[in-house]
Structure formats: structure tokens, C-alpha cells
Structure 1
Amino acid sequence: MTDTAESRPEAAETVEMPSASRRTFLKGLAGAGAAISLPATAARANGEIGFWAKDLTDDKLVEMFTTILRIRWHERTMADKMLTDPSYRGYNHFYAGQEAVAVGVCSALRNSGGVMEADLVYSTHRPTGHAIAKGIDMKKMAAENEFRATGLNGGYGAEMHIADKSIGFMGADGMIGPGPVIATGSAFAIRARGSDQVVVNFGGDGTYATPHFHSALNNSAMLKLPFIYVLENNLYHQYAHYSYSCPMKDIADAAQTYRIPGVVVDGQDVLQVYNAAKTAVERARAGEGPTLIEAKTYRYYNHWGAPGAKPGELGAFGYDPLAISSFRPEREVRAWMARDPVDIARSILIRWGVLDQARADQIESDVRDEVTEAFAWAAEQPLCNPEDGLKHVFAEGTVLPRQFG
């Protein structure tokens, strides 16, 4: 995907659409997974946005934009600390560039009420964006990522294992791939007790080549589980292009095998993602089974850490033989950054009259202050105790024998 004229928000003003059925035309484009921003930039006031996003309140739209910014500045701040602060203990698989996917999906979910009421999210080894979009406490997450005792998980889980059951964020997946199997188990439990919750599993493009991907889709399709697989196709698993492990251009085509919907969306456009996610959520709540959503997106930093990046700048460029950061061309990175999810979201809301530029700038300034405060708070927290590392590892007490017959 490149930054072509038809892919930019401004192009929506020049596209010729049939006057007799513009709404149908827009739905058809989005349903076909057109990787453009047209449905999200059509006239909201006339209902031509189609689907669910037209019903979002101004407050909700501003909240979504704010959350996108919150993820972006969390990632940028953490990258800068890794590059400039020798005392900083955190590390991350950065999510910058993919913010619209997490926010679009989680905005369609129920995010409060604990594990018995909230919709559940199972994340990847790149979890911070999903966690913030689900509503996690950013201060506690910042503390967890730096191994502080007041972190979400006492400082023992760190980035690849953060979790918060109170909002239905079931945890990151340090063992790459098995997440969907655990997620479908939760979906089965939800259906067995008659709840209307749904389960979302985020996965990367590399998960297509794992048995867990196919097992999860097969079982959830057979049992019509309330399960949504959101595959974030950022083109690369670690340093290899996804074409080395997948024979299709669109991984969502795999859904045809299991006779379930497979939807491709522009992962840079939060409202396209929201429309697809909301449709999948409604389908799951109605007992109609799973959906596979493939979001075409891109990560701005390296696979993990901040090699190739510079303090104060967004993205990783250049050649670093230790980090293999030359695995993708700089032109490709910059082309994707030209279709930035922050810029697209801001442009849509200004076009719709939800925000003006001054208010958008103020929201971003406030978010930066919030993120700075979160990291400052985390830095003041006590470190976890190494001698407590084996806590919560072994079961204690007596286990009664099970009785059969």
C-alpha cells in the first residue's frame, strides 16, 4: 500500500459516486475491504458514512482521537527514554503506526465490569497500544514496564506480560502464537454460561503460519463462538516480509476455508476499523460466530527496541547491523508515515466540524503532559524485590484427590 491520491482523505472530494445509491456504494467499498479512507471521510451529516461510525457522538469521536494520541506519545516517550536515559529499565515492542487498529477495535467493545461482564482482549508481544485502547492505567503500566513494585503485575510481568482483568485485558502473549487458542477457550466458557460477552484476539501477520491460527478459526467456526481474530498485517514478522510465510496477498482470504467472514480494512483509518469491528461484535453477540479482520497497517519502529531511531524523532531509519534495521526500505517507511493514523483521525474530525485545529493541538498538548506525568510517577516507584521472584509460581496447600464414579 502506498500513499496514492485515492488513498488520501482529500481524495474523497473528487471521487465520482452514483447518485442513486451512494450509501450502498460506500458500504460495498468497505465490505470489499478497499484500503482507502473514503468511507470515513464521506459526509457524516448526510449519513453517508454508513455502518456504525455515523452514530458515534462527538464526545466518543474525541475520545477515540485522544486515545490514538495517548498511544502515540506513550510509544515515543518510551523510545526516547530508552535512547537517552541509562537508568531506564523498560523495553518495548513499539506500537507506533498501528494506533488506529487498537482504538477502532476497542472502541467497539465493552470495557468495564471485569472478566464476567467486559469483553475480553488477548494481546500480542506488542501490547501497549491494545492495553491503552482497552483502558488500562497508563501510570501503572509505565511502572510495570520498568519493573516497579507498584506496576500492574507487581513489576514481574513487564511489557510482554501486562494484564488487567478489571477491564477485560487478559494479557500479552510472550509465547508468540498461542494466544488465539487461549482466547477461543474463553469464548467457549462465555457461551457455556450464557453471557453476551465477546473475545478479541490480536495477532500479527506471522501468526498465519502457526497451527494456533488455524485451530482457533476452525474450532470457533465449528462451535460458533463469540470470537474475533484481529490480524494486524504490518507486513513484517520480525525482519521477514509476510509473503515468505503466506501464499495470499490478503490473509483474510483464509476465512473462506472456515466459512466465516474475512474482512480487510485500512488499518490507518480508525473509523474503517471501528465499522468492521462493530459489525463483527454484533455478529458475535447474536450467536452467529467468529470473524477474521485483517487490518493493513505498519509499524514505524523496529521489531523491538529503538535501534535506528533518534531522540525526538518518530520512526526508525538507517542501517544498524546489530539490529538488522535495514530489512525494509526507508521509502516504504516514509510512504506509510505519510498516511499516519493520527493525521487521518485529526483530518476527519476537523472535516466533520467535531474539532478545529486549535482544539486538536490542545488535546495533543494535554496528552503529552499526561504521558510525561505517567513516566515521572513510574520512575519514583520502588523496584520489585528479586527475592520475591518465585511468588505466585508454585501452588501452596493441599490438593484434594478428585472423585470419579
Structure 2
Amino acid sequence: MDRNLNSTAPLPTEDDAPASQSRRGFLQIAALTGAVLSTSGRRAFADGDIGFHAKDLPDEKLVDMYRTILRIRWHERTQADQMLANPDYRGYNHFYAGQEAVATGVCAALRNDGPFEQIDLVYSTHRPSGHAIAKGVDIPKMVAEDDFRATGLNGGYAAEMHLSDPSVGFIGADGMIGPGHVTATGSAFAFRARGSDQVSVVFGGDGTYATPQFHSALNNAKLLDLPFIYVLENNLYHQYAHYTYSCPHKDIADAATAYGIPARVVDGQDVFQVYNAMKEAVDRARAGGGPTFIEAKTYRYYNHWGAPGAKEGELGAFGYDPLAITSFRPEREVRAWMQRDPVDICRDTLVDWGVLDEARAAAIEEEVKAEIAAAFEWGLSQPLCNPEDALKHVFAEGTVAARQFG
């Protein structure tokens, strides 16, 4: 099969010739706010700096990546509609819609099945649903967990910001900004200490740059040459402030190069470009080559938290956010990013490569929509947690022997 790999090239910089508006040119359109990458795909390829590993994947794997993106998208849209229209819904989310290609491309390059002592581990953020789905968590149980159901993934104790499923290597979400990075390097150190070829991955947002854990994790990962991969999802805004208010770098990846860590800036809307970079990072880590930093330029379609500004049945949030006291980003910016949608790019690339046709792609999306609808139907039918169980696992139970001092 002849797969034209120019469709996974990064966005052109201002010194590149204008891209055509053909199928291949569509995937190279330029200059969305904050998304222009520092190195063009043509120059990087000529320098030998970028691989095209996605071209070697079997069709089944490529279609599975498309399904994963769709699962994340329809989970987010369905949950947003629940928050908007169901007065009995108790769940909440920091929505991941718009960033699906990052989680999917990263986790597709990892070892996600097998004994815990062999699978790769992922540490997530307070925006975890996409990472969790891409890593393989049980979606119906996650739906139940998000709505504080007793049969949820973590018994209703975790909800969104503390989801965890070690059985698939999803160590968990993190309601704090930064600590997960240090814990992830600890796992990487454990892998090396016992001679395992596992890899530890942490996701972080652009706001993590300003935390001490960001720099501590990178510093130690390089000092010890750990099998550690930092994936920074730069969606331009931490909460309601543009990342340039707290970071002096256009590309946050520049901070990693200061520690001597190989760094790559990729188009986070293109799942295959994310996969290509991640595949190289994983291979390097397994071979003892140390850490890698990947910055994915991406964008979130909803506001920081919840669904203010969104309408039932529609994708994205626009206009006023009461939590921000204002409209913190231009509507035209949101709509411009939505023109380079991860779902569209993945589908159009697979059609261009001959892996799918339009009819089969549409049928897969309908299958996924039904799958997610069934997950919500099951999850929201489960029993709610008992209020009196809130103190379980908080205090020690039973008797404790007195300590003896000699």
C-alpha cells in the first residue's frame, strides 16, 4: 500500500512556501494561533530528525487508533450533554475534546497488555479521560466512577481527577499540578533498577512549566538517564491565562534541551505525527538511551472545566465563562483550531492511504457512538455511593499494638 507520508508533516513555518489546499495540503495548513512549529516537516525529514513509523503499522492498528480517537471524542461530547441536560447527573470533567490525537498517538506506542511487571505506565493530569481511554481503561466503569457510583472504576471514591486503573498501566489522574512528574521518574528508576525494559510516561499541560516538579523531574531523569518520557500538551491556556504569561519560551520543549534531553515539537492534532515521535522515544528508552521530551501543540474545545458556553448536541464551548468572569479566548480562535480537528485529520489520512473509505469510516463512528451510549446507560444505572462510606479507607481500623521502646 502506498501511503503518502507528507500528510503527517508538521505545520509549516513562516519561511515555508504556502501549502496547497489539496488533501495533502489540508493537513499542512499554516499559522493557527500558537501552533506554528519551529521546524518544518520537509527540513526535519531532510535532516533525518523525524521518522515515519506509522506507515509500517498494519491496517488493523491504524483503524484501532481511529476508534480510540472517536471513543474519546464521543465520551467527551456525551458527558458534556449529561452535564448540560441531566439535572440528576453528578459527574464533572475537565474535557479533553480537541486533544484526542495526543493521548491516542502516545499510548499506541506503549505496551498496554500483559502482567503489571511488563506493561508501560502512564501518569495523567487533572484532564485525564482521554489518557485513560487511550491506555485502555474500562469505559463503562469510568463513566460510573465519574458519577460517584459504587461500582465505578474506583468504587466512587476517585471521580474524574483521581481515576486509576493499574491493570492497564494507567496509574492515575492527579488533581495537583506537577507531583505526578516526580512520581513517574520514580517508576522509571524502579524499572532500571530491576532491569525491566518498561517505560514511564507522564502527561503535563503547559501550566506545568512553572512548577518545581517539572524541572526536578527533567533534571533527575537526565542525571540518571531514566526510561522516562514527558509528554507536554500545550493547549495554549492554563485555566484562563495564555501560557506565555508564565513561560518565556515559544516552544516549552526548549526547557528540556537545557537539561540535555532530546526534545521534539509535534503537531498534536495529527495522531500519526504524535505516534512517530513517541515510537522513537519509546525505542530510545527501552534501549537504555534515557529520557525524551515531546511537546504537542494542541487545543481544547471546551473551557477549562465543565461545560459553560457549550450547547447540548454541539461540539465545543464559545463565549462567556462565568468562572473566568469573561470570554478568555476569541471565538474565532476556537473555530480556527476546530478546522484542524484530530478526528478529521485521522480519518482523512486513512482514507488517503486507502486503509478506509468514507463509508467504512462513517460506519465505525456510528459503532463507537453506540458503544459510548451503552457505556453511559450502564454507568448511570449503577447504585450510588452510600454517604456513610465516605470515611472508609481514611482511618485505620481494628487494634494497633503499642510500640515498645527499649
What is the TM-score of this pair, normalised by structure 2? Answer: 0.88
Shift of the 283–7 alpha-carbon distance from structure 1 to 2, 3 Å rule, reads farther
Q: Once the 2 structures are TM-superposed, how far is the Cα of residue 30 of structure 1 from its aligned partner?
A: 8.5
Partner of 1:216: 217
C-alpha RMSD of matched pairs (Å): 2.5
Determine whether 1:89 maps to 2:102.
Answer: no
> How many angstroms apart in 2 are the aligned matches of 1:92 and 1:370?
20
> How many angstroms apart in 2 are the aligned matches of 1:230 and 1:7?
31
Partner of 2:260: 259
Partner of 2:5: none
Shift of the 60–7 alpha-carbon distance from structure 1 to 2, 3 Å rule, reads farther
CA contact (8 A) 2:284 2:290 kept: yes
Q: Once the 2 structures are TM-superposed, how far is the Cα of residue 393 of structure 1 from its aligned partner?
A: 2.5
CA contact (8 A) 2:308 2:320 kept: no
Partner of 1:31: 49
Partner of 2:331: 330
Question: Which amino acid in 2 is paired with 1:299?
Answer: R
Q: Once the 2 structures are TM-superposed, how far is the Cα of residue 257 of structure 1 from its aligned partner?
A: 1.3
Q: Once the 2 structures are TM-superposed, how far is the Cα of residue 318 of structure 1 from its aligned partner?
A: 1.6
Shift of the 13–295 alpha-carbon distance from structure 1 to 2, 3 Å rule, reads closer
Question: Which amino acid in 1 is paired with 2:201?
Answer: V
Partner of 2:278: 277
Question: Which amino acid in 2 is paired with 1:156?
Answer: Y
Q: Once the 2 structures are TM-superposed, how far is the Cα of residue 112 of structure 1 from its aligned partner?
A: 1.5
Shift of the 224–236 alpha-carbon distance from structure 1 to 2, 3 Å rule, reads same
Q: Once the 2 structures are TM-superposed, how far is the Cα of residue 31 of structure 1 from its aligned partner?
A: 3.3
Shift of the 143–14 alpha-carbon distance from structure 1 to 2, 3 Å rule, reads closer
Aligned length: 379
> How many angstroms apart in 1 are the aligned matches of 2:386 and 2:26?
59
Shift of the 26–222 alpha-carbon distance from structure 1 to 2, 3 Å rule, reads closer
Shift of the 259–377 alpha-carbon distance from structure 1 to 2, 3 Å rule, reads same
Question: Which amino acid in 2 is paired with 1:58?
Answer: D
Q: Once the 2 structures are TM-superposed, how far is the Cα of residue 391 of structure 1 from its aligned partner?
A: 1.8
CA contact (8 A) 1:114 1:168 kept: no
Shift of the 9–164 alpha-carbon distance from structure 1 to 2, 3 Å rule, reads farther
CA contact (8 A) 1:202 1:232 kept: yes
> How many angstroms apart in 2 are the aligned matches of 1:14 and 1:368?
25
Determine whether 1:173 maps to 2:191.
Answer: no
What is the TM-score of this pair, normalised by structure 1? Answer: 0.89
Determine whether 1:60 maps to 2:56.
Answer: no
User: Unpaired segments of 5 or more residues in structure 2?
Assistant: 1-10, 29-40
SS in 2 for 1:292: strand
Correspondence list, 1:335-374, <5 A? 335-374=336-375
CA contact (8 A) 2:177 2:211 kept: no
> How many angstroms apart in 2 are the aligned matches of 1:399 and 1:93?
44
Determine whether 1:160 maps to 2:161.
Answer: yes
> How many angstroms apart in 2 are the aligned matches of 1:240 and 1:315?
18
SS in 2 for 1:150: coil
CA contact (8 A) 1:308 1:325 kept: no
Determine whether 1:6 maps to 2:7.
Answer: no
> How many angstroms apart in 1 are the aligned matches of 2:348 and 2:121?
31
> How many angstroms apart in 1 are the aligned matches of 2:379 and 2:202?
28
CA deviation profile, 1:356-386 (whole Å, cap 9, x unmatched): 0000000000000000000000111001112
Partner of 2:149: 148
> How many angstroms apart in 1 are the aligned matches of 2:293 and 2:22?
26
Question: Which amino acid in 1 is paired with 2:49?
Answer: G
> How many angstroms apart in 2 are the aligned matches of 1:325 and 1:73?
28
